[in-house]
């Protein structure tokens, strides 16, 4: 029997926002219904994404006010729905992995599911982000 690689991400998502699916709009709507706190931030001053460290600059902007939890993180991108591949790594390697990735993960929706805490982070393809539950 083949396991759907997205099933683990749905389990983690359900811990934070029960009943949501793996789309930022659906996650935020479900969080609103459940009274789960978040603040959606629209990015108005974009970093230089063509710079060699453009991915890291955007990552730093999204997580500027957060102390990332320890443990593992699961990253679901739009590409995950096409090829079934997810990025999972220790949290302390996440920034480096994002920067070294052959794809620019922020060119679509991205969901960061933190294993150790009941929280997640979303990047919306229209240029904003939210941290749900923390």
| CA atoms of 68 and 44, how far apart (whole Å) | 23
Q: Count CB-CB contacts under 10 A for residue 5.
A: 14
Mean pLDDT, range 95-101, rounded to an integer? 88
Mean pLDDT, range 22-43, rounded to an integer? 95
DSSP label at 17?
S
Q: Which residues of the chain form beta strands (DSSP E)?
A: 41-42, 72-77, 87-90, 110-114, 120-124, 128-132
| CA atoms of 121 and 27, how far apart (whole Å) | 10
Q: Give pLDDT, residue 121.
A: 97
Cα atoms found within 13 Å of the Cα of residue 126, Cβ hemisphere only: 7
Tell me the pLDDT tens digit for each residue of 55-85.
899 999 999 999 999 999 999 998 887 777 7
N- to C-terminal Cα separation, the chain: 36
25, 130 Cβ separation under 8 angstroms: no
Each domain of the chain, given as residue ranges in start order, spans 7-132
| CA atoms of 110 and 28, how far apart (whole Å) | 13
Tell me the pLDDT tens digit for each residue of 3-18.
566 788 888 899 899 9
- Cα 44 to chain centroid, rounded: 19
Mean pLDDT, range 114-121, rounded to an integer? 92
Q: Whole-model pTM?
A: 0.91
Q: 51 vs 18, 54, 81, 110, 130, CA distance in Å?
A: 38, 5, 28, 21, 24
Q: Give pLDDT, residue 1.
A: 40
User: For 12-16, 29-33, 120-124, which range has the lowest pLDDT when averaged over its residues?
Assistant: 12-16
């Amino acid at each position: 029997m083949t396991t759907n690689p997205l099933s683990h991400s749905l389990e983690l998502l359900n811990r934070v926002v029960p009943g949501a699916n793996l789309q930022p709009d659906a996650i935020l709507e479900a969080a609103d219904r459940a009274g789960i706190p978040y603040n959606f931030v629209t990015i108005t001053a974009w970093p230089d994404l063509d710079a060699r460290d453009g991915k890291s600059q955007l990552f730093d902007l999204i997580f500027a006010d957060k102390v990332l939890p320890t443990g593992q993180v699961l990253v679901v991108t739009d590409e995950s729905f096409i090829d079934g591949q997810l990025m999972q790594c220790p949290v302390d390697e996440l920034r480096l992995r994002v920067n070294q990735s052959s794809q620019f993960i922020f060119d679509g929706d991205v969901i960061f599911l933190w294993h150790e805490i009941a929280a997640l982070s979303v990047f919306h393809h229209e240029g904003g982000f939210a941290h749900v539950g923390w």
